[in-house]
Amino acid sequence: MIGKLNHVAIAVPDLEKASAVYREALGAKVSPPQAEPDHGVTVVFIELPNTKIELLHPLGDNSPIAAFLEKNPSGGMHHVCYEVDDIRAARDQLKAQGARVLGDGEPKIGAHNKPVLFLHPKDFCGTLVELEQA
Ligand code: CO
């Protein structure tokens, strides 16, 4: 069902420092920070030849990554995003197998202007999974 790895998201307490690590120490192509108020995060995109890394930093009072950073004050891997052809078909198939879809279960438009859904980490080897319709 899943296709390409679209991105790995890493929550970071200091976006500038994290950008510098990827730009200078690791020599990657790093975008300027982009505010995503609808998602409660500021994102920096790092383009690798085969996938992307997204650095996430809380934006606003109800950021979905605030609690994660409280538990992981130096930052950490937040989720992986896999591409699917049909997000509703993927959701229905996973739900039929007992997997939990977060939120109201309806796809939302993600940071790349494509529909996304999140799946409960307890059902996926302890990792929060984002599905994006490619
Ligand atoms: Co993501």
pTM: 0.93
Cα of 110 vs centre of ligand 1, distance in Å, is 8
pLDDT above 90 (res 22): yes
Domain range spanning residue 17?
A: 2-133
Residue-level pLDDT at 112: 84
CA 2 from chain centre, in angstroms, equals: 16
Cα of 81 vs centre of ligand 1, distance in Å, is 6
61-88: pLDDT as tens digits: 889 999 999 999 999 999 999 999 999 9
Q: Which CATH number goes with the domain that contains 26? A: 3.10.180.10
Active-site entry in 47, 70, 83, 130: 130
Cα of 14 vs centre of ligand 1, distance in Å, is 18
Determine the average pLDDT of the residues in 105-126: 94
Tell me if residue 130 is catalytic. Answer: yes
Q: How many domains is the chain partitioned into structurally? A: 1
